[in-house]
């Protein structure tokens, strides 16, 4: 038997020691790391963590194929698409578990959901805000139970927006008084309203199949030509244990709103409002297929707006057609459960 040979460096952490068997050992504080790395060897490297690998693959497929999830049962597809970005949180969790399990199979499988998430949402991580633009708009669901409408109105007006849309107006007169000093022109239809620095015309309600008015359309005579402005507050959705994602009325209203926009004769169009859905939600396709998201095109980050205390979804939208978004941002929180949002565009 050859005598084991050990090369000693005389310095802790200088490098691994080697024995006659060829197995590296790490001196001092690195010995624990060496022992852990040694456990990655052997045939179990690929057999371990098969359940984690399957979970990672399923997560990736869910992201890639979310449009194929059926909506027939509990609107499962729309529910998943509403919170789709948050599925990315499972990737680091599975990564830690794969490392603890010392599974090469699980680590390789994790590439699928990681790449899928980056493909879907990686573009939102960069700052796409630019300079310029000549027309600023803002929208805010002010909350029917808002305890201080005047302060909320003034906070949104302080954004410097040329046009402001407000939704869920329980007492429009209080907002009208607060906005009068900044905006000369306005129109309130039902529980939604629009305020403008420029003249308004042809303001009228839009029927979104609710039985009362929660959407309007008006022409804003901006310096570079007319802009058709739509303000909408689509019906709320609920997640119920026995019914799933109840969004039938919201979906019907989205269809009606989409039809109204499709018949709009003015080339430049802005949609402002609380759509109670994200851009990923297929049920909003009658609207989203016609318009471009200002937040997605010129925002910084995900731009989540609800709930205001811990935003998890961007359901308050600024969408355009015939206009070029330059920048988009969320405004500071008010006494509402939504964050206000603003965008600047080139007309």
CA-nearest of 344, 342, 311, 301 to 125 is 301
Q: Which residues pair with 141 in a beta bridge?
A: 167
Cβ(92)–Cβ(142) below 8 Å: no
pLDDT digits (tens, 9 = 90+) for 123-171: 998 899 999 999 999 999 999 999 999 999 999 999 999 999 999 999 9
pLDDT digits (tens, 9 = 90+) for 48-67: 899 999 999 999 999 999 99
Question: Which of 6-15, 61-70, 89-98, 111-120 is the least confident region?
Answer: 6-15
pLDDT digits (tens, 9 = 90+) for 213-267: 999 999 999 999 999 999 999 998 876 555 455 677 999 999 999 999 999 999 9
pLDDT band at 39 (very low <50, low <70, confident <90, very high): low
Cβ(201)–Cβ(219) below 8 Å: yes
Cβ(226)–Cβ(267) below 8 Å: no
Provide the 8-state DSSP code for 66: G
In angstroms, the CA 266 to CA 136 distance is 18
DSSP characters over 202-234 = EEEE---SSSS--EEEEEEEETTEEEEEEEEEP
Question: pTM here?
Answer: 0.84
pLDDT digits (tens, 9 = 90+) for 228-238: 999 999 998 87
Cβ(257)–Cβ(206) below 8 Å: yes
Q: What is the pLDDT of residue 7?
A: 42
Q: What is the pLDDT of residue 10?
A: 44
Long-range contacts of 305-309 (CB under 8 A, 24+ apart): 305/330, 305/338, 305/339, 305/341, 306/337, 306/338, 306/339, 307/337, 307/338, 308/333, 308/334, 308/336, 308/337, 308/338, 308/339, 309/337
Helix (H, G, I), strand (E, B) or coil at 148: coil
């Amino acid at each position: 038997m050859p005598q084991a040979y050990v090369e000693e460096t005389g310095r802790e952490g200088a490098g691994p020691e080697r024995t006659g068997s060829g197995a590296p050992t790490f001196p001092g504080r690195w010995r624990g790391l060496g022992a852990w790395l040694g456990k990655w060897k052997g045939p179990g490297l690929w057999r371990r963590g098969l359940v984690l690998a399957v979970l990672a693959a399923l997560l990736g497929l869910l992201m890639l194929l979310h449009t194929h999830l059926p909506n027939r049962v509990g609107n499962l597809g729309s529910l998943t698409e509403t919170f789709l970005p948050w599925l990315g949180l499972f990737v680091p969790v599975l990564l830690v578990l794969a490392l603890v399990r010392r599974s090469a199979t699980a680590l390789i499988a994790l590439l699928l959901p990681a790449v899928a998430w980056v493909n879907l949402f990686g573009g939102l991580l960069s700052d796409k805000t630019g300079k310029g633009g000549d027309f600023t708009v803002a929208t805010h669901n002010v909350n029917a139970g808002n305890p201080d409408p005047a302060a909320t109105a003034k906070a949104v007006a302080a954004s410097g927006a040329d046009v402001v849309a407000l939704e869920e107006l329980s007492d429009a007169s209080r907002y009208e008084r607060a906005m009068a000093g900044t905006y000369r022109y306005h129109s309130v239809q039902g529980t939604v309203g629009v305020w403008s620095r420029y003249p308004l015309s042809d303001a009228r309600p839009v029927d979104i199949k609710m039985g009362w008015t929660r959407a309007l359309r008006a022409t804003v005579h901006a310096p570079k030509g007319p802009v058709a402005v739509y303000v909408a507050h689509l019906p709320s959705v609920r997640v119920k244990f026995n019914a799933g994602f109840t969004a039938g009325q919201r979906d019907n209203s989205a269809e009606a709103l989409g039809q109204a926009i499709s018949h709009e004769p003015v080339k430049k169009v802005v949609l402002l409002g609380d759509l109670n859905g994200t851009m990923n939600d297929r049920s909003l396709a009658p609207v989203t297929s016609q318009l471009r998201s200002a937040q997605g095109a010129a925002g910084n980050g995900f731009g989540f707006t609800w709930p205001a205390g811990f935003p998890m979804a961007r359901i308050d939208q600024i969408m355009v057609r015939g206009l070029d978004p330059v920048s988009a941002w969320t405004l500071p929180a008010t006494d509402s459960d939504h964050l206000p949002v603003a965008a600047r565009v080139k007309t």
